[in-house]
């Protein structure tokens, strides 16, 4: 851990240095202390430096009682700003929060939160940070902005300089930055939230998705996990599984990293969400409008919060008014799902679900985000995009072979079909429906995903 000089210590150091007629770049000072100019600057600006450098600098200017120069006052930790999480609005996932927080406090150095867009990955990551908040230096990085530099060397340099580390220009190659960054993370308690890391991923040489575009990110995480002792922790959010963590280099450290798939809110959590919004729905009744909305949207947090917000703002909290105007869109889906499950009418070629688009607010806050996911899939792995769209004819879980036959009809071979299905699994766009009585694997789509997939299928 680094230490910093107190205000008094900074002044005494400068006075002693000036008395010797040394500036910050004086050869005598740098030679006698064995540090570089940026370390001198860090000390005089009150930033943390390595204890051995701290001692060497004070002794170099003739101050032997360096212990009295250390800033031992309690300092406010560098807390990150939350972009989504709000304490007053938070509901649910308390058991999972407790489990994952214990993992991060324990041996888990990298926690991956994965799932479809809008499922609450960022909010939950921030909630975990809030739970862990205390003796950590917090830092966050969001990679959703594609204009932002995201290569490992640039990001590592920014982090190190922000944390007061000196990085000479000759030591800014990826392998040197990797070593210095890992060393800093091992010696200091840093809690780093890396958001939307799907934007760091690309295809590999085998045309499989999930590799880091910059291979040095993969090398960094392997090196970070390989250290015998480390005080820092990472929380990553992603719509795609970074395949590096499943490969042999990371698999040997599987007790040091953990991947958690986030699903929609359970019924009690849905009820709590609507109650926090102070809506007047009859929530104790299973067939009340809000309960049906929660069921049809599979507990999707972003969709439910968007609907609750619209009822609150545009309908003056009157659920009945919202339901009168929009119930047909919800009931259409509920009836189709019930028909599929109770009467085995699983195919819905004529379905035109509009769960993500029947109001302007839903289109802006929900559909546009899901469309981004579809367009990214279309550009990255077109075969998987076609499979996802064509499988939208199914209203519920069906045999996996039923999905694949759609690609077979289009001339895709078995290997291409399996690769497309695996891509959808890696992006959590296909949901596991278990095994049927004949030992067939069942797969399905989240209702919101299917709603958008139908629209895309009609454009194919």
Distances (CA, A) of 160 to 49, 115, 190, 212: 12, 30, 12, 21
Neighbours of 255 (CB within 10 A): 12
- What's the rounded Cα separation, in Å, for the pair 289 and 30? 73
- What's the rounded Cα separation, in Å, for the pair 325 and 226? 58
**CB-CB contact of 355 with 327 (8 Å):** no
Q: Which stretches within 189-318 are classed as H helix? A: 215-226, 248-251, 267-276, 289-296, 301-314
Distances (CA, A) of 10 to 44, 226, 307, 417, 446: 5, 38, 55, 66, 59
pLDDT at residue 323, as a whole number:
95
**CB-CB contact of 241 with 426 (8 Å):** yes
Tokens 């969709």 correspond to what residue? 303
Task: Of 361, 336, 333, give the one whose Cα is nearest residue 346.
Answer: 336
Q: Is the pTM of this model over 0.85?
A: no
Q: Can you read off the two tokens belonging to residue 102?
A: 């214990």
Distances (CA, A) of 274 to 90, 107, 271, 284, 290: 11, 37, 5, 12, 8
Distances (CA, A) of 352 to 341, 361, 391, 392, 447: 18, 19, 14, 10, 12
Backbone Cα Rg of the chain: 27
Give the H or E element holding residue 142. Answer: strand 137-142
**CB-CB contact of 106 with 280 (8 Å):** no
**CB-CB contact of 167 with 180 (8 Å):** yes
Q: Where are the beta strands (DSSP E) in 255-399?
A: 257-261, 398-399
pLDDT at residue 73, as a whole number:
67
pLDDT at residue 103, as a whole number:
95
pLDDT at residue 204, as a whole number:
63
Per this entry, what is the length of the chain? 460
- At residue 252, φ and ψ (nearest 5 deg) are -70, -15
Q: Is 232 strand, coil or helix?
A: coil
Task: Of 358, 353, 278, 354, give the one whose Cα is nearest residue 319.
Answer: 278
Neighbours of 65 (CB within 10 A): 8
Distances (CA, A) of 423 to 374, 379, 385: 13, 13, 9
* DSSP annotation string for 100-140: HHHHHHTT--EEEEE-STTSSHHHHHHHHHHHH-SSSEEEE
N-to-C CA span, the chain: 57
pLDDT at residue 1, as a whole number:
56
pLDDT at residue 207, as a whole number:
60
Neighbours of 407 (CB within 10 A): 22
Counts of helices then strands in the chain (DSSP H, E): 20, 10
User: Angle 51-60/37-44 helices, nearest 10 degrees?
Assistant: 90
Q: Which stretches within 20-82 are classed as H helix? A: 27-33, 37-44, 51-60
Per-residue pLDDT of the chain in tens (460 residues, 90 and over written 9)? 578 888 899 999 999 999 988 888 888 898 888 888 878 888 887 777 888 889 999 999 999 999 889 887 655 456 888 988 888 889 989 999 999 999 999 999 999 999 999 999 999 999 999 999 877 889 999 998 878 889 999 999 999 888 878 888 888 899 999 999 999 999 888 999 999 999 999 866 556 677 899 999 999 999 999 998 998 999 999 998 888 887 777 778 888 999 999 999 999 999 999 999 888 778 888 899 999 999 999 999 999 999 999 999 999 899 999 999 999 999 999 999 999 989 989 898 899 999 999 999 999 999 999 999 999 999 988 999 999 999 999 998 999 999 998 888 888 888 888 989 999 999 999 998 889 888 889 999 999 999 999 999 999 8
pLDDT at residue 74, as a whole number:
54
Q: Can you read off the two tokens belonging to residue 406?
A: 């759609």
């Amino acid at each position: 851990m680094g230490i910093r000089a107190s205000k008094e210590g900074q002044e005494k150091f400068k006075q002693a240095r000036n008395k010797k007629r040394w500036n910050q770049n004086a050869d005598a000072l740098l030679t006698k202390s064995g540090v570089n100019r940026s370390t001198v600057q860090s000390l005089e600006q009150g930033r943390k430096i390595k204890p051995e450098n701290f001692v060497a600098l004070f002794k170099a200017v003739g101050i032997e009682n360096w212990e009295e120069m250390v800033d031992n006052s309690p300092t406010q930790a560098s807390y990150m700003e939350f972009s989504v999480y709000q304490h007053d609005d938070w509901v649910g996932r308390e058991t999972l929060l407790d489990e994952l927080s214990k993992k991060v406090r324990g041996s888990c150095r990298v926690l991956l939160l994965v799932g479809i867009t809008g499922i609450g990955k960022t909010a939950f990551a921030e909630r975990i940070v809030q739970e862990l908040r205390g003796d950590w230096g917090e830092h966050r990085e969001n990679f959703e902005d594609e204009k932002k530099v995201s290569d490992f060397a640039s990001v590592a340099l920014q982090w190190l300089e922000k944390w007061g580390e000196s990085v000479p220009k000759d030591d800014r190659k990826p392998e040197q930055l990797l070593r210095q960054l890992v060393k800093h993370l091992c010696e200091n308690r840093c809690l780093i939230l890396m958001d939307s890391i799907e934007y760091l991923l690309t295809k590999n040489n085998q045309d499989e998705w999930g590799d880091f575009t910059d291979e040095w990110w993969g090398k960094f995480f392997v090196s970070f996990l390989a250290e015998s002792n480390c005080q820092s922790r990472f929380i990553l959010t992603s719509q795609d599984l970074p395949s590096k963590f499943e490969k042999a280099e990371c698999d040997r450290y599987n007790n040091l990293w953990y991947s958690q798939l986030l699903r929609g809110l359970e019924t009690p959590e849905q009820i709590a969400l609507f109650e926090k919004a102070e809506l007047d729905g009859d929530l104790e009744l299973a067939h009340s409008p809000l309960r049906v909305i929660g069921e049809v949207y599979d507990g999707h947090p972003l969709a439910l919060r968007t609907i609750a917000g619209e009822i609150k703002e545009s309908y003056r909290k009157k659920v009945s008014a919202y339901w009168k105007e929009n119930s047909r869109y919800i009931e259409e889906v509920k009836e189709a799902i019930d028909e599929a499950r109770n009467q085995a009418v699983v195919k819905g070629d004529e379905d035109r679900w509009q769960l993500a688009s029947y109001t302007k607010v839903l289109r802006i806050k929900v559909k546009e985000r899901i469309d981004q996911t579809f367009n990214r899939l279309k550009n990255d792995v077109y075969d998987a995009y076609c499979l996802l769209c064509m499988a939208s004819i199914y209203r519920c879980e069906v045999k996996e072979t039923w999905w694949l036959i759609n690609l077979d009809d289009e001339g895709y071979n078995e290997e291409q079909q399996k690769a497309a299905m695996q891509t959808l699994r890696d992006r959590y766009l296909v949901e596991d429906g278990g095994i049927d009585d004949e030992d067939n694997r069942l797969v399905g789509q989240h209702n919101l995903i299917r709603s958008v997939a139908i629209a895309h299928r009609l454009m194919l």
